[in-house]
Amino acid sequence: MKIKKIEVYVIGPEERHYTWSEDIPEVYQTNTIIRIFTDENIIGEAAVWNATYFEYDKYTAESLRHLLPILINKDPIDREAILYDIRPRVFPQPPGAQALIDNGLWDIFGKVSNLPIYKLLGGRRDKIKSYASTVMYDTIDEYLQVVEKMKNEGFSAVKFHTWCIPEKDLELAKAARKAFPNMSLMLDAENNYDLENSLRIAKELDKLDFTWFEAPLPDYDFVGYKKITESVGIKVLPSGNWITDLQRFSDALNNKVWSAARTDMAMIGGITNGKKAMDISSINGFDCEIMSWGYTLVSAANLHLMLSSDNCTYYEQPLPYEMFEYGMHDILRTNKDGFMYAPIKPGLGMEVNWELMKKRVIHSFSCDENKKIGFVHS
């Protein structure tokens, strides 16, 4: 089997833009999709999510232009050999570019094997508990209404993306705990606090019995994180958005910088590296809470990672649902029992509605069997 053609699409599906911090603009959430065609009529599809200000991200897609010709006529099953050939050289490349290729190859491998990817990765389990992951709302009452709605839909856990203003965030945390004494609650500060406020809020969240405190500082502030984790009992996590190589990731765990690890297949370079990150975490005695924010193909790749191991405790269900489901025949929704269940179809297990998806294309190109880059022909 050989790769004969590749298509890349930048999709801008949002009807409304959101933010995760009071001091930053609303972001554009880009769905960048790759389609890898083989001479045996098997198509591998994968996506990465990215958030940028003011316009949709084309950089990740454009970073593939010089990589795609390398894939033509390669056997898609030779994944590690291909990843070596497309490794960054001279200049860094966005990890999402490698992740697109890697995950597309995994989708092909699953379809060839007639198995979902999580089974190819080890198949540790077929379901995982979910938490609802909010956007930023204007008022505490809005947050509480969302928690109530999620509770009624079967969720037992909610994570708040807040204003990232310590006193205001703490007020929300106290109100949420008072209103929902039995819910598992998390707070994500999106790397916005300084060390003093991080320590103070961590201690308060610990008293409120929050499940975890996420991203108080930039992920690379190993000294600051270590001070926090040594001062509180609450689980303290990085955002998972900043550490993009396995060596740096491993260094953090070896130095017990965080209480638990966090990453995303798009930020660490794909399912292959994501599985290695989970294994490194497990070997060092850490949970690895995989992020699954993003569009359906993105969340599906992260879900397969979670299900392959037992050291991830939750699936992240991004809200609002509909925004992330655009252009899909298959979607990922948490069940009424509060669990996300494994896809049953081969590969990523998610079918794209291309007639609908192509209505929101803002940029696209292809690489043909002659290794020529050109336009995608509908």
Domain boundaries, the chain: 3-114+354-374, 118-341
Query: With 70 as the cut, is the pLDDT of residue 75 above it?
Result: yes
* pLDDT at residue 60 in the model: 95
Residue-wise pLDDT tens digits, 346-366: 999 999 999 999 999 999 999
The mean pLDDT of 313-336, rounded to a whole number, is 96
* pLDDT at residue 93 in the model: 84
The mean pLDDT of 169-181, rounded to a whole number, is 98
pLDDT > 70: percent of the chain: 99
Residue-wise pLDDT tens digits, 204-228: 999 999 999 999 999 999 999 999 9
Query: With 80 as the cut, is the pLDDT of residue 333 above it?
Result: yes
3-114+354-374 and 118-341 share one fold: no
* pLDDT at residue 254 in the model: 96
Query: With 90 as the cut, is the pLDDT of residue 367 above it?
Result: yes
CATH superfamily of 118-341: Enolase-like C-terminal domain (3.20.20.120)
pLDDT > 90: percent of the chain: 91
Query: With 90 as the cut, is the pLDDT of residue 21 above it?
Result: no
Distance, in Å, from the CA atom of 375 to the CA atom of 364, rounded to the nearest integer, reads: 7
* pLDDT at residue 293 in the model: 92
* pLDDT at residue 66 in the model: 92
* pLDDT at residue 193 in the model: 97
Question: What is the overall mean pLDDT for the chain?
Answer: 95
Residue-wise pLDDT tens digits, 105-151: 999 999 999 999 999 999 999 999 999 999 999 999 999 999 999 99
Q: Going by CATH, does the domain composed of 3-114+354-374 fall within 3.30.300.30?
A: no
* pLDDT at residue 354 in the model: 97
The mean pLDDT of 151-171, rounded to a whole number, is 97
* pLDDT at residue 88 in the model: 79
* pLDDT at residue 90 in the model: 59
Query: With 90 as the cut, is the pLDDT of residue 375 above it?
Result: no
* pLDDT at residue 377 in the model: 60
